[in-house]
Structure 1
Amino acid sequence: MASTRSRGGSDRVPAHPDLDSIGLQQVLEALVDPVRRHIVGELYAGDQDLACGTIDLPVSRSTATHHFHVLREAGLIRQYYVGTSRMNALRRDEMDAAFPGLLTALVGRHPRA
């Protein structure tokens, strides 16, 4: 996977919050939206990181970008580039350590399309 920087750094690696600074409220607010829950569910169910464009979403590209931003700011995903593709990785181990059982309870039974 790419850099584990928490803030700043390269223009190619967006800033990622330290999970110590994220509260349960922010995580739940990010996951209340069905599109964001779908994104997290796809990442949860898969065995690899996914490019933004490979997750089928019922929203425009700009709206999808907003949803990925909300998930990143809530500490749920880590984003990095491979070539021109922005990749998304679920911060599953970190989330499980910070909020045990939460991801499994909310998206663990996510049906794959």
Structure 2
Amino acid sequence: MHHPSFQHLDTGTLERWLDESVELTLVDIRDPQSFAQGHIPGSRHLDNDSIPALLEEAPKERPMVVVCYHGNSSQQAAAWLSAQGYADVYSLDGGFVGWQQLLPSRVEV
């Protein structure tokens, strides 16, 4: 049995990484309308249409952080991305909702 090869990431760690300008790929898998209403700065919207471009553009060795609403569906997406050959894949615990509650000033519209 293959265990999902992604890791959980807490909001504080992601905030620190962004503050330290750690090179990472930040993807948001929420619906387009939710993404347009607010997202973590630097994140790109990911859906079925944009997956091919992501797989082509995102360096496999760069950490990838997957964001959803509450940190549940991002786990499945993170496991899938890990299976595509990405070495360090993270699911943001608490998702965008948790980020917005803790860091409302760090939401981009």
Q: TM-score, normalised by structure 1?
A: 0.40
Q: Which structure is higher in RCO with an 8 Å CA cutoff and minimum separation 6?
A: 2
Higher share of residues assigned helix: 1
